[in-house]
Amino acid sequence: MNRREFMLVLGGAMTAARTLRAQHKAMPVIGYLGGGSPYAPLLAAFHQGLSESGYVEGQNVAIEFRRAEGRYDQLPALAADLVGRKVDVIVTNGASGIAAAKGATSTIPIVFVGGGDPVEQGLVASLARPGGNLTGFSIFGSELNPKRLELLSELVPQAHVIALLVNPNNAASERQITDVQEAGRAKGVQLRVLKAGTDSDIDAAFASLIQLQAGALLVGSDPLLFSRRDQLVALASRHAVPAIYEWREFAVAGGLISYGTSLTGTWRQVGVYVGRVLSGAKPADLPVQRPTTFELVVNLNTAKALGLTVPPSILARADEVIE
């Protein structure tokens, strides 16, 4: 082989290597860190947002899923695993998931969905200019609990004792308890706190409702509790307890009433944000978004089964009435 032939072969090999590297680079990896169980509509909304940004799983992006299935103590290890796999961006939700992701990396971009004030929590420098490797969506989860308590009191005015169900493994549970306690005192309502971090805990919590003589129930914000919505709704029905929830998915499943932002709408926007990050945008420059609209959903079938008459004032404000 003469020098010219050698250079041609070498050039071809280098071109092939560059092509392989380009192909590898063209297939970025998203790390999806979840605290609860998968929920198909949310994943579909996330994929929709990704596609709007030009990314389709299996074609030009891959997704690595890591779910704790309610065992929040596993989240730090799952986050570390994603970091070790050198994913290009991490998507997570809930206070415990966000804390785990933030603790695992200060360089890999993180797009989050969470409640509370991310500035107060030290996640970002400001909503408009996050400044670090985190950005996302703050969805007024637990902040709306006082409003949910107000709606529940309006719907069940005879309930002078109301229970709040929280997951003690959720890093935001104490804040939820404090907020609802303050709202309860202002309305002259006695609050009883129930804690459930597993399926069996949920069953036990409902059993104690009778002992506490609670006339109504507020289900707190938590990924595990959301993933157990069918169990919660069934238990509320079995024990004939009027309950209010955060997401419309509870009301659709047979829950009495829900008040909160649109989860599917939020997760579509998360997909859009992740696509922008994969295309080169920096989390530091992407504003943290907060919802401007909220959904009030009332299930009249459940109200009838409980012997409740929904006040016209609530029906007039409802975005959706299930009959």
Distance CA 171, CA 149 (A): 21
Taking residues 79-90, report their average pLDDT. 98
User: Of 49, 31, 65, which is closest to residue 269 (Cα–Cα)?
Assistant: 49
CATH 1.10.1130.10 assigned to domain 142-260+294-322? The reply is: no
For residue 18, what pLDDT is reported?
Answer: 47
The pLDDT of 149-162, averaged and rounded, is 95
Architecture category of domain 3-140+263-285 in CATH:
3-Layer(aba) Sandwich (3.40)
Write the DSSP string, 39-72: -HHHHHHHHHHHHHTT--BTTTBEEEEEE-TT-G
d(CA 129, CA 46): 24
Q: How many CA atoms lie within 13 A of 154 on its CB side?
A: 15
For 112-159, give the DSSP string.
EEE-S-TTTTTS-S-SS---SSEEEEE--SGGGHHHHHHHHHHH-TT-
Q: Dihedral (C-alpha) 51, 52, 53, 58: value to the nearest 10 degrees?
A: 0
Q: Which residue has the tokens 């890999």?
A: 108
The angle at the Cα of 285, spanning 281 to 286, to the nearest 5 degrees, equals: 75
As a 3-state breakdown, the chain gives helix, strand, coil percent values, each rounded to 5, of: 50, 20, 35
The two three-digit tokens of residue 194, written as one number: 């129930």
For residues 155 and 17, which has the higher predicted lDDT (pLDDT)? 155
User: Tell me: the pLDDT tens digits for 209-254?
Assistant: 888 989 999 999 899 999 999 999 999 999 999 999 999 999 999 9
Give the residue with greater pLDDT, 13 vs 114: 114
- Give the pTM: 0.84
- Average pLDDT along the chain: 91
The mean pLDDT of 254-267, rounded to a whole number, is 95
Q: Is 73 left (phi over 0), alpha (psi -120 to 50) or beta?
A: alpha
Count CB atoms within 10 A of the CB of residue 306: 17
If one compares 156 and 210, the residue with the highest pLDDT of the two is 156
State mean pLDDT over 198-208. 93
pLDDT at 166: 96
Counting beta carbons within 10 angstroms of the beta carbon of residue 163, is it exposed (0 to 12), middle (13 to 18) or buried (19 or more)?
buried
Question: Does position 28 have pLDDT exceeding 60, yes or no?
Answer: yes
What are the tens digits of pLDDT across the range 114-153? 888 899 889 999 999 999 999 999 987 778 899 999 999 9
Contact yes or no for 191/180 (Cβ under 8 A): yes
CATH 3.40.50.2300 placement within the chain: 3-140+263-285, 142-260+294-322
* pLDDT in the model for residue 10: 46
| Distance in angstroms (rounded) separating the CA atoms of residues 177 and 196 | 13
Which residue in this structure is represented by tokens 């799983």? 57
